[in-house]
Amino acid sequence: MSPPSPGDGLKFSRLTEYLGRLEETSSGNDMVQILSELFGEASPGEVDTVVYFVLGEVDAEYRHVVLGMGEKTVMDAIARASGRTREEVQGRFDELGDLGSVAEDLGLEGGETEQGYFAAEEPTVRDVHDGFMDIAEASGSGSQEEKIRILARMMSQEEGAERRYIARIATGTLRLGVGAMTILDGLSVAYVGSKDKRPRLEEAYNLCSDLGLVARTVAEANDEGGGEAALKAVAEIGVEIGRPIKMMLGQRLRRLSDIMEKMSGRAAAEWKYDGERMQCHKDGDEVEIFSRRLDDITSQYPDVAEYVRDRVDADTAIVEGEAMAVDEEGHMEPFQTLMQRKRKYDVEEYVERIPVNLFLFDLLYLDGESWMDRSYPDRRGRLYDVVETGGGVDLTEQIVSESQDEIDEFFERGLNEGTEGVMVKSVKEDSVYRAGAREWLWIKWKRDYMAELADTFDLVVVGALAGKGSRAGTYGALLCAAYNHDEDRFETLCKVGTGFTDEDLEELPGRLGEWETDSVPARVRSEIEPTQWFEPGVVIEVEGAELTRSPVHRVAEEEGKGLALRFPRFLRFREDKSPEQATTSREVRQMYEESRRRGR
């Protein structure tokens, strides 16, 4: 293959030769080499379009340019371009299963669209891109016919392989197996000299969510000053209102008890809401809302856009939060309820039917300045300053603590209020916002992650703590103990606050009333002072995630620390068991030692 003459735009036919080579290999290294050669042939002014086409797109991912052409309309275009009937095209598609292959296979016989769409005899990638954009922009009455006409004329001027890829791009079925990271590797090799600099390009991509922009930036800078200039230029790609930033993600740990070690002894914990994460961009009165997938979901949430417009005191800002469906009393609803808001029609009706609250947790940009390189405490503190809470807007519930037990309690309280867990975040100076990264600066913990112990525990209720929030006026958690057979006493193991139905909570005062006492029972060992003590009498069955050492519980105590059951969950009352038939402290110790051997 010989490269095009200088000054000529890259011919689409030339691009399709590279697409064919990519289609024929599954080797990542080969793909990077092919891409680097392709980018080397493209001019800086067209390399962005080349990147989009390789990905099977016509523009940046977040712009979601919609061609609006399904299989049937592309079949109509192929039929018109080839002079075949729609039935012939359908029959060939039934045989081949790919409209690209159909377009290539049928050939052209002229017909009503014999005149081509392009002015140039050999269309460039820019020419083809312009054609696709004309298709995307066709709207109103007769727009579907116009889309078919444009695509038919585009294909009628091309050869077999070009028609194949035009049809696949039109139907969104290119699928060469090339992803964003492979593209970045190819760009790094082409313009910087090796894959080693890919992370520098990736940082820019995570900020702008536009591979084409990254490609054009490094190509233009390389053209003027080489690889070092390319790296310098790409580092200058910054935050821009209306261009979503890839969202930072949290790491996951097997045990929540390991979090404080990861966080060097102090951290912030936020409730993790079971809603839809949103990145809200404000520019004066204009607000755009992007989802985790970078979809523009503004039209689905006009109420949230209004919240941001009215409650974020800034000319320009980018804030992140979680939208939660709430009932008439403000209680959080399940995620499935919120998903009914994902619609194109009847939006206003569902705004009324399913109201949402927006819980904000981060500030990325404010009045022309990026805040992403500032520490999390600084970002959170400024967020308090610029957000007027109320009217559907609040900040996420948060505590900052050095105590694992406090974070455990915060986690459990959130579950009772309808959250799905916690995000624990570093409060150190380097706790910056790393776009698109999954960092140990954030650690997520959800109940779903719990690798539950194989056995359940029959525990004795020895105390209760008053409820808060939605449980105000009743018991919020039960203090439970295992039985030490050797010493004939009850040693606390955990506080159980989840797993109860509304009916269970209503029954608790009646079940426990006869066992109430004003002081700690003589047979109970506890470092925790509950709201109400109970003589050992009621046994409940509990499941949990793990056993770990704790300074506040007394089972199998060694060097001032006993064993604790983390994330206990109520299963049922064990009316058939007496307190002395409860799980013993020795059994708990054995379970702990076994779990250590299994690596939990």
Q: Nearest-CA neighbor of 541 among 578, 512, 574? A: 574
Dihedral, 148, 150, 153, 158 alpha carbons, nearest 10: -100
pLDDT at 7: 39
Q: Catalytic residue at 147?
A: no
Could you give phi then psi for residue 232, rounded to 5 degrees? Answer: -65, -40
Q: What residue segments make up the domains of the chain, in order of their start?
A: 12-56+177-235, 71-171, 249-446, 457-597
**Same fold: 249-446 with 457-597:** no
Residue pair 445/408 in contact (Cβ under 8 Å)? The answer is no
Predicted TM-score (pTM) of the model is 0.77
Q: What angle do CA 179, 276, 422 make, to 5 degrees?
A: 100
CATH number of this structure's domain 457-597: 2.40.50.140
What pLDDT, in 10s, does the model give residues 506-546? 888 888 988 998 889 878 999 999 999 998 999 999 998 88
**Residue 371 three-state SS:** coil
Residue pair 414/359 in contact (Cβ under 8 Å)? The answer is no
pLDDT at 256: 72
pLDDT at 2: 43
pLDDT at 471: 66
Q: Which two tokens stand for residue 422?
A: 């916690």
Class of domain 249-446: alpha beta
- CATH topology assigned to domain 71-171: DNA ligase i, domain 1 (1.10.3260)
Q: What is the mean pLDDT of residues 168-193?
A: 90
- What are the beta bridge partners of residue 443? 251, 424
Radius of gyration for the chain, computed over Cα atoms and rounded to the nearest angstrom: 31
Task: Report residue 190 CA to chain centroid gap.
Answer: 31
Query: Would you say the C-alpha torsion 567, 552, 425, 325 has a positive or negative sign?
Result: positive
pLDDT at 15: 97
Residue with tokens 């426990």: 512
pLDDT at 297: 92
Query: H/E element holding 482?
Result: strand 475-484
What pLDDT, in 10s, does the model give residues 11-35? 999 999 999 999 998 788 899 999 9
> 197, 272, 282, 495: which is the annotated catalytic residue?
272
What pLDDT, in 10s, does the model give residues 394-453? 999 999 999 888 998 899 889 888 888 899 999 999 999 999 887 889 998 876 555 555
Contacts of 142 (CB under 8 A, 6+ apart): none
- What are the start-end ranges of the H helices in 387-447? 404-417
Q: What is the mean pLDDT of residues 272-287?
A: 94
Instruction: Round the average pLDDT of the chain to a whole number and report it.
Output: 89
Q: Judge whether residue 175 has pLDDT over 80.
A: no
Task: Please provide the size of the chain in residues.
Answer: 600
Q: Nearest-CA neighbor of 128 among 57, 212, 30? A: 57
What pLDDT, in 10s, does the model give residues 82-106? 888 899 999 999 998 889 999 988 7
What pLDDT, in 10s, does the model give residues 575-596? 877 888 888 898 899 888 877 7
Which residue has better confidence, 357 or 455? Answer: 357
